[in-house]
A and B are shown apart, each in its own frame.
Chain A
């Protein structure tokens, strides 16, 4: 029994890492613009699908992964430039609806380009399971975990240690004041979208060998990442990471101990409970300001 729970934990942390990366993407764009970007899941899908396609076109796997990440980051940038920027001055709700439209568009393009089947990406270093204290672990899970740790650390350092990262934060805290110190808010927004898209792409590429990918793989991953961001307190990047891990573990435990059919229901119930009892998220900033 204990071994089983350990197994669920390992699975949960792996899946949770992916949610964490997607949630982090949500938090970055939300931070820069107060907008929830519902195309975030599509970035994950685009990363995975274009890596698969580039691999099929003959590129070696590492190169395909890097190119797919850059390509997706470019898509994020273009999305900001040609869909979000023209609606400058529109309300947050309008902008959110634009991102939903963009998500549907990207899904459509993906289905035209790559069809509707689930496609695999080969595991980065084989499929020989690793035994770890009674739990079985795919080598790819280690890639997921390692990749997540590195990316989260990089983003954390970027936001807290660099002037550019703090400027990004300043835009979210007080856009007018950010403009008054000379921050080009438009460029910051492009940066946030590019970064989020790249982050999503890496998540998609890391997890594709385990879950496969298809044109609609982004829907559920996007929703889970969004949930992670909400649980962690939207706008708190490291909260989103914690929220993702928590969500993944709960889901795995629920699937293992109750029924795998309830996996998603358990995750979303948890989100509802969090919103009910702690509306600003578990690690959200309490909304209080001195005037």
Chain B
């Protein structure tokens, strides 16, 4: 298990010592008249792997959509690396280094694996040397993609599409990687493989916010965790504590 919890977690007095990379304060979000996100506050420090777990319909995806500006918040602020990015348009959020691997992969089906990765680097394309190098890194991380560079993304298996979606986000040069249910619909062995890569990326220094319904797997690799229920954060603690917490175990871990 990576030990990536920053020293500031349990003590609010030292929290000011280092501003978090991502800081969400009092965030609310609606779909029409229905409020989906209630007053959420959450922070991620540089280098952390933070898990946000919750059941179906808890608002996980809405929160990530709001973060990436695919959906406007109705109240609250989002600060990232010292900037208030609450009202920034989606393309600017990506440019500043928040890259999302969306729920259900969402690869560009009629385009090749290589083109999907190239488009991932849409905001970085001027730095062609870096793009080439990063593409090789992704191919190294997922050798199966290397074998299928010219294959159309839509013809890949679910697991391969998930790898491609992660690779595509990495080419956006993330300072914060958002992962939305990367385990969804995958066989246990593939989930293990994907989670192994997530840990590897984190050890290499990528800050990660992992959103998962698979609470056990997510908390097992995370440093800290948040529990989301019907749009509210109901608990936050180091991941190991959450794994041992009786309420959490009953509600999310099933034992």
Contact = CB atoms under 8 A, between A and B. Distances in A.
B119 interface: yes
A199 B102 CA distance: 36
Interface of B: 68-70, 89-91, 94-95, 99-100, 102, 104, 106-111, 115, 118-120, 122-123, 125, 154-158, 161, 168-169, 172, 185
Q: Chain A interface: which size bin?
A: 20 to 34
Given A182-B123, A290-B161, A291-B158, 5 more contacts: A169-B111, A173-B111, A174-B108, A182-B90, A290-B158
A177 B111 contact: no
Interface string A254-291: 00000000000000000000000000000001000111
B168 A184 contact: no
7 contacts: A173-B109, A176-B102, A181-B123, A181-B172, A182-B94, A182-B172, A290-B156
A118 to B, nearest CB: 43
Nearest to B168: A181
Contacts, number: 82
A240 interface: no
Contacts of A285: 110
Contacts of A176: 70, 102, 106
A37 to B, nearest CB: 22
Contacts of A289: 109, 154
A156 interface: no
A163 interface: yes
B47 to A, nearest CB: 23
Contacts of B158: 290-291
Contacts of A185: 90-91
A180 interface: yes
Contacts of B123: 181-182
A167 interface: yes
B144 to A, nearest CB: 16
Contacts of A167: 119, 122
Of all A-B residue pairs in the complex, the 7 with the closest CB atoms, nearest first, are: A182-B94, A182-B123, A177-B106, A179-B90, A184-B91, A182-B91, A173-B108
Given A179-B91, A182-B123, A285-B110, A166 B115 contact: yes
Given A179-B91, A290-B154, A166 B109 contact: no
A19 B106 CA distance: 34
Given A176-B106, A177-B106, A181-B120, A170 B111 contact: yes
A237 to B, nearest CB: 12
A91 B106 CA distance: 22
A290 B109 CA distance: 9
Interface of A: 163, 166-167, 169-170, 173-174, 176-185, 285, 289-291
A163 B111 CA distance: 12
B16 to A, nearest CB: 32
A179 B68 contact: yes
Contacts of B172: 181-182
A185 B155 CA distance: 25
A168 to B, nearest CB: 11
B99 A184 contact: no
B62 to A, nearest CB: 13
Contacts of B106: 174, 176-177, 180
A92 to B, nearest CB: 19
A181 B94 CA distance: 6
Nearest to B105: A177
A272 B139 CA distance: 47
Given A166-B118, A182-B122, A177 B110 contact: no
Contacts of B104: 291
Nearest to A169: B111
B118 to A, nearest CB: 6
B155 A180 contact: no
A177 B102 contact: yes
B170 to A, nearest CB: 11
A170 B119 contact: yes
Contacts of A184: 89, 91
A183 B168 CA distance: 13
A186 to B, nearest CB: 8
A176 B102 CA distance: 9
A173 B112 CA distance: 13
